[in-house]
Amino acid sequence: MSPQKYLRYLMLPSLFGTARTKEILQVNPTIVPQREEAKDVKISVYEYNASKIQEYNVESVAECLHCKDTEYISWINIDGLRKVDVETICYGYDIHPLVIEDILSINQRPKMDEVDNILFCLLNMLYYNPDKNSVESEQISIILGKNFVLSFQEDASRDVFNPIRTRLKINNAKIRQRGADYLCYSLLDMIVDNYFTVMEKVGEQIEVVEEEVIRNSNTRSLARINKLRKELIVLKRNFAPVRDLLNGIIRSESELLEDRHTKYYKDVYDHIVQAFDLSENYRDIIMSMQDLYINNVNLRMNEVMKVMAIVTCLLAPATVIGGIFGMNFDKIPYLHNDWGFFIAVGLMLIIPIWMLFFFRKRGWF
């Protein structure tokens, strides 16, 4: 048997999930992060216009550099990041080195930049892990250029863009009739819409914990409340910057953004504001649950103290009578009386019964 299996239970932080706190808050911008190279990389290319679409996968990023000079609108999605691949495609599309650095970075705050006639968006896609009951994030970078969109994802096994891929295959779909900035809007909209799916799962967990606290709260309930508070921190850390990101796009005067599409970005902005407000409501509920837990603990403590006080009061007469007749004196009333013992025991029973009746009549219990 491995001793580590049992020694880990001696580490108190692991019992209360404090490792999750370190995961959430371990962001130090002064330290150069080390990103692990992806083992699997999937590169998909969509070239389309109103009447035609080409969809294909390529083995290397060099094979999709020709999309820059075509008359089609191009969407190149790279799942799994490798430094060589990112640098090759970015240099091929004349992307600034600072943008490349942001793409390869980790734990970045969501933001929007305009650099050298491209619009760069960095934000997180959120997923809910039902096994761990936690919110997981995946950094995604979106570059909008003239007639092209580049998207970089960390995980090659999951994303939320399948509905967009389906719409692109429909001939009369609106996305096929519009420009690259509409495609960029569609990607951002899909990410933000998925936030509500994640929040719905978190909301279900909040309801379960709330019912548990009301019915039978214990230390496990407090641990689950603290865990939910940490997950809400993850949500809030993503929602607020994405709101600023979309606000920056709306206020941008870039030639890459058509005026007729501004209303669509405003719609996404409204959604992220609603998501942020909902996360604040969840936070208020969590704080109320914590107060309710503390009140329940205090109430149980008061009940215990009340029972102990009543028991102490009921035993007090017997203690006094037993103490009096237990004194070491030769002359004590009724000491040698044949009925003295029965009188003392009777008093020990009658007085507590009268006290119970008196307490009940006063409504003390």
**Residue 24 scores a pLDDT above 50:** yes
* Cα 192 from Cα 339, distance rounded (Å): 87
- As annotated, the residues of the chain forming the CATH 1.20.58.340 domain(s) are 301-362
Q: Would you give the DSSP letter of residue 63?
A: G
pLDDT at 9: 44
pLDDT at 324: 76
pLDDT > 70: percent of the chain:
90
Per DSSP bridges, beta strands 134-145 and 148-153 are antiparallel
Q: What are the DSSP E strand ranges found in 130-281? A: 134-145, 148-153
Q: What is the pLDDT of residues 94-128, one digit of tens each?
A: 899 999 989 988 888 899 999 888 999 999 999 99
- Section 167-183 average pLDDT: 91
Comparison of pLDDT for 207 and 30, the residue scoring more:
207
pLDDT at 7: 43
* pLDDT band per the 50, 70, 90 thresholds, residue 18: low
Q: What is the pLDDT of residues 48-81, one digit of tens each?
A: 988 899 998 988 888 888 888 788 899 999 998 8
CATH fold group of domain 4-296: Beta Polymerase; domain 2 (3.30.460)
Rounded mean pLDDT of the chain? 84
**Residue 20 scores a pLDDT above 80:** no
Tell me the C-alpha to C-alpha distance, in Å, between residue 110 and each of 107, 275, 351. Answer: 9, 16, 74
- As annotated, the residues of the chain forming the CATH 3.30.460.20 domain(s) are 4-296
* pLDDT band per the 50, 70, 90 thresholds, residue 12: very low
Using an 8 Å Cβ cutoff, are 219 and 105 in contact?
Answer: no
76: its two tokens: 């190149």
pLDDT at 28: 58
* pLDDT band per the 50, 70, 90 thresholds, residue 6: very low
The values of phi and psi at residue 306, to 5°, are -65, -45
Among 201-205, 227-231, 274-278, 321-325, which stretch is predicted with the lowest mean pLDDT?
321-325
Using an 8 Å Cβ cutoff, are 354 and 316 in contact?
Answer: no
**Residue 276 scores a pLDDT above 80:** yes
Ordered strands of the 134-145 beta sheet: 53-58, 42-48, 73-79, 148-153, 134-145, 118-129, 111-115
Its pTM stands at: 0.79
CATH fold group of domain 301-362: Methane Monooxygenase Hydroxylase; Chain G, domain 1 (1.20.58)
Nearest C-alpha neighbor of 181 from the set 119, 96, 122, 125: 119
